[in-house]
Amino acid sequence: MDYNELLNHLQVVGKDPSRLIFEDELTGLYNRRYMESHVGTLVEQAAARGKPLTVLVMDIDYFKSINDTYGHDAGDDVLREFAIRIRKSIRGIDLACRYGGEEFVVVMPETDLAVATMVAERLRRRIASETFPIQQGAHGIEVTISIGIAALSRDDTAASVIKRADQALYRAKRDGRNRVVPDAA
């Protein structure tokens, strides 16, 4: 099947080819490839307009033990439900992506650190307070997340602000998990 035949086939079965390239199949969120191709533009726009931009890097705590205890299908259930809860907690202009494995990124244009911290804390509480349905709803398990946050600074690039949020995430994990930690910079 050549490229044009593939595109034709995808359109016939109702699949948007760009979604296959830029969407995480399991969660329906954007994938890392999409994030990396768009976050630079968001950073440039924020800098040019003098507007804030904040990045959240999130990780599901003890995700490996979920897979080990309940199986990979249950882990997939948790990832799907987590993506749903992220979508319900952010605005349409925010960019939510699965960064890899059980790690997720949300880029929040026109959002300062204080507001992003409130959003992150609300999401963290929502995750911890409601069990996650697994095995087609037959069981529910408790899940917590850790979140690192960084606000765009004058000298930041897309990569550096994500790296600072990721470093804050690792501090959250080191300090006991199930917490939100803003970058100190």
The DSSP 8-state label assigned to residue 31 in this structure reads: -
Residue 58 CB contacts under 8 Å (≥ 6 apart), including other chains: 86, 103, 104, 105, 106, 120, 123, 145, 146, 147, 148, 169
For the question of residue 102 being annotated catalytic, the response is yes
What tokens appear for 122 in the block?
């609300």
Residue tagged active-site, from 44, 102, 110, 121: 102
Owner of token pair 């390239």: 21
Q: Please, are residues 20 and 88 in contact by the beta-carbon 8 Å criterion? A: no
Beta pairing class for 145-151 and 180-182? parallel
Q: CB 17: neighbour CB atoms within 10 A? A: 13
φ and ψ of 174, to 5 deg: -65, -35
Cα–Cα distance, 80 to 59 (Å, whole number):
14
| Nearest in space to 84 (alpha carbons), one of 167, 146, 140, 27 | 27
What amino acid positions are annotated as catalytic residues? Answer: 102
